[in-house]
Structure 1
Amino acid sequence: MSKLLKRLVPVLIIGLAIGTFVYMKNSKPQQPPVQVSEKVWSVDALTVQLQSISAVQTLYGEVESNALVQAAAPISAVVEKVAVLPGDEIKKGQLLVALSNQDVSILLQQAQADVADARAQLQLQKLTIEANHQRLEHEQKVLGLKQEALQRAKSLLKKNLASQSAVDTAKEALVRQEYVVVGADLAVKQSDAQLSQLQARLQKALTALEQAKLNQQRAVVKAPFAGRISSVGVSVGDRVNTGAVMVSFYSLDSLELKAKLPANSLPQAQQALDNGQPLQAYIDSDNAQRVSMPMKRLAGQATTSGVDAYFAVPNELHQKRPGELMEIYLQGRVQSQVAAVPYSAVYGNNRIYVIEDQRLQSMQVSLQGEVMHNGKLQALVSAPQLQNGMKVLVTHLPNAINGLKVAEVE
């Protein structure tokens, strides 16, 4: 009996444990089933408005001056006065730089002395020419007398009234006189040639004198027009060489902006210039006013990246300096049936998402340029199925796909 109990006790314990486990399992609380709901993305949307808009193109350019004057030293001299500094506004006729008057006066006096010397030599040569002409006339008269003497000697010889030696003496005198006439004629011709040389020397001296007077004027640099000083390359007391640039300045009206125009925009820009209706660019100034900058001309040479276009800088932007960089917006041709949307609404340059029944639907579009709106660039898009009143997704969702459920934020 005891052996049987010993065998039943473990069985009873195991059975009790199993029963307890089954009871506890069946009596535990039941979890309600999990309800899975679809996520809704809160987004901003834009109502489509199809319209005709002039596309704009962002260009980056550099301010230049087409009339930069570099005043150089006309002679080697000492700088006596410097009246301006870089960046100064100047008025027409204002003194800029002056060289030493002593250096200029010495050269002017030398030129005047050369002119006086050339004139004196010319006057002396004229007297010499007059004397040579008188001598030639005299020697020619003597030659005529010698010829007559020879004829008389020959006539007397025929009449046996003179000897042959008398005839020979007359011939010898005639030959000598002919030689004297040749010398006198040569002296006249030489004096005429020397007169031409002295006249040329006088003209050269007069030219040098005019140059000296011109250098005297140029030694005092005055502004030929109102403008701004670009740079000053000398100081008081400097000795400058001939041709050294002393001061550079430019007119405020000469400022223009040089910007690279893409090659695909060249035909339109050239046609507009030929028609007398140049394309217009503009810039938003500091006071929130739009300043227009018409295109003046196109460069004569192009590169593979485009051609340089030059735009007028109006009076409102005269504070600009050469070398300053500017961002401008070039207005192109008018695009019809296009919608302006933020760039955040464009996916991959050719796709936008339209919201229909709180679901996203992708739409293929074509980019037609860009436009400035409230100080920000927006893309101009067009598509055959794009219509007024459609809602376009503006919030850029990295996970945007067709059918994604969204809720527009009011």
Structure 2
Amino acid sequence: MRLVLKILSPLLILGAGAGLAAYLIATKPVVEPEVVEERVWTVAAVPVEIKDQSVDLNLFGSLKAVRDVELRSLVGGEVIEVGENFREGGLLEKGDLLVRVDPFEFEASLNENKASLLEARSRLNELVATQDSEIAALNREREVLEREVRNVERAESLAKRGNISVKSLDDARSALSRQRQTVELREAQLEILKARIGQQRAVIDRLEVGVLRAERNLKNTSLRAPFRGYVTDVNAEFGKNIGASDKVARLIDATQMEARFLLSDSQYGLLLGSNAGIIGRPITVTWQSGDAELAFSGRVARLSPEISSDTGGVEVFAVLEPSEYTPFLRPGAFVEVVLSGNRYPNAARLSDSSLFNGDTVYVVEEGRLQPRKVEIVARNGDEILLRGDISDGDLVVTTRLPEIGPNLKVEVR
């Protein structure tokens, strides 16, 4: 009996355990599987517009007068008159008087030169008249010489026949010799007169130059504005004694201004590599003065001859087209400059944030992202121009997502 219990006890325990396990399994709660929903990413997107694009450069610069000159007195003396608008900030028209120097000494110098010139011309007339007289006398002496030659020939012929004495022949020959000497003296005197006439004409030329110089000096006693402009740095006044080359004032052109701005190396290279070049490109200049905003058009006129070592760029000068507001402009004003850039046909303009891995953009199609390969045509700040596997109207994502990839579900806000 005891042996049977020893055998059955383990079996009963195992059976009870198995029954309990079966009961627990049968009565355990059923856990339903949780359904994981796909995440939807909220993104910003813009529609693509394929068209001819331009990269305009937004720059800053300053205004500079096309002409800004120092006016200096051309002659010295006492200032006896000043112009009505010759004052700091005054507007002078072309030809307006700035200052007038006492002209007495210059008028006297001009009169003296004219008198000397008149005297020299009279002396020339005298020499020419003497020359004419000498030419007439020389012609008469030559006629006499021809008669003396004939007399000698006749005397020699008669002497051979014994019709005249030897003394008569010698007298004829002596008369011929004397006449030849007279002609030679007349010719020499005429050559001397010709030389004196040449010298006198040189004197007259020199005196005429002196008259012209004196006339110019007299004219320069009045210093006048070479163009329409504003007066500044006034350094002369009524009664002041000024010397030749003394600074009188500065005149700033009031009719035309130019904008001066800087292109970086990359901007310069971008424009230089285009067919249009740089010279002649249109610009728009905006000057903000208080609440007033004035806009002016212009074109690039020239470039600086060297690259600035301080800024590492190229300085550009553009002449502004005159307008009714040009007189309000002042040199040194800070302005915004928009320089017309290169033209790129059939390109899309997007923000730099829409480009991934340097050659991919993502287009939203039926709520999911699809990658498209593109190439960069040009950059302008945070904007890029693209061409590639994109079409007009495609919705391109501009939001930066670290998890971005193909078929990602998105919602455009």
TM-score between the two structures when normalised by the length of structure 2: 0.64
Deviates more, 1:99-108 or 1:139-148: 139-148
Contact 1:74 1:218 in 2 (8 A): yes
Aligned to 1:121: 123
1:331-372 deviation digits (Å, cap 9, x = unpaired):
32367664565x8999999999999xxxxxx999958444xx
> 1:62, 1:279 → 2: CA distance?
18
| Structure 2 gap ranges (5+) | 1-41, 365-370, 405-410
Aligned to 1:58: 58
Deviates more, 1:176-185 or 1:279-288: 279-288
> 1:269, 1:321 → 2: CA distance?
34
1:379 and 2:383 are equivalent in the alignment: yes
Cα offset for 1:137?
2.8
Rate the CA distance shift 1:347–1:72 in 2: closer, same or farther, 3 A: farther
Aligned to 1:48: 46
Selected match of 1:95 from 94, 97, 106: 97
Cα offset for 1:284?
3.2
Rate the CA distance shift 1:319–1:348 in 2: closer, same or farther, 3 A: farther
Contact 2:45 2:399 in 1 (8 A): no
Aligned to 2:243: 240
1:312 and 2:310 are equivalent in the alignment: no
5 Å matches for 1:382-393?
Answer: 382=386, 392-393=398-399
Rate the CA distance shift 1:326–1:221 in 2: closer, same or farther, 3 A: same
Aligned to 1:187: 189
Contact 1:284 1:290 in 2 (8 A): yes
1:263 and 2:262 are equivalent in the alignment: no
Rate the CA distance shift 1:256–1:103 in 2: closer, same or farther, 3 A: farther
> 2:294, 2:348 → 1: CA distance?
23
Cα offset for 1:113?
1.8
1:309-345 deviation digits (Å, cap 9, x = unpaired):
534254335444445554412132367664565x899
> 1:348, 1:215 → 2: CA distance?
76
1:111 and 2:117 are equivalent in the alignment: no
- Letter of the aligned partner of 1:329 in structure 2? V
> 1:221, 1:205 → 2: CA distance?
26
5 Å matches for 1:2-401?
Answer: 47-51=45-49, 54-68=54-68, 71-83=71-83, 84-85=86-87, 87-151=89-153, 153-155=155-157, 157-158=159-160, 160=162, 162-229=164-231, 232=234, 234=236, 237-241=240-244, 246-259=248-261, 260=263, 262-268=268-274, 270=276, 279-286=281-288, 287=291, 289=293, 291-299=295-303, 305-306=313-314, 308-315=316-323, 316-322=325-331, 326-332=335-341, 333=343, 338-339=348-349, 341=351, 368-370=378-380, 379-380=383-384, 382=386, 392-393=398-399, 401=402
Cα offset for 1:179?
1.5
% identical aligned pairs: 18
Cα offset for 1:94?
1.7
Cα offset for 1:401?
4.8
SS in 2 for 1:48: strand
SS in 1 for 2:105: helix
Contact 2:284 2:297 in 1 (8 A): yes
Deviates more, 1:213-222 or 1:245-254: 245-254
> 2:149, 2:102 → 1: CA distance?
71
Cα offset for 1:108?
1.6
| Structure 1 gap ranges (5+) | 1-42, 356-361, 371-376, 395-399
> 1:269, 1:59 → 2: CA distance?
22
Contact 2:258 2:319 in 1 (8 A): yes
SS in 2 for 1:96: strand
1:136-185 deviation digits (Å, cap 9, x = unpaired):
13432443454354345435544545443443343233222212211111
> 2:105, 2:269 → 1: CA distance?
55
Contact 1:47 1:388 in 2 (8 A): no
Contact 1:266 1:307 in 2 (8 A): no
> 1:101, 1:319 → 2: CA distance?
38
SS in 1 for 2:251: strand
- Letter of the aligned partner of 1:132 in structure 2? E
TM-score between the two structures when normalised by the length of structure 1: 0.64
1:381-401 deviation digits (Å, cap 9, x = unpaired):
65867986666459xxxxx85
Contact 2:57 2:338 in 1 (8 A): yes
Cα offset for 1:101?
1.2
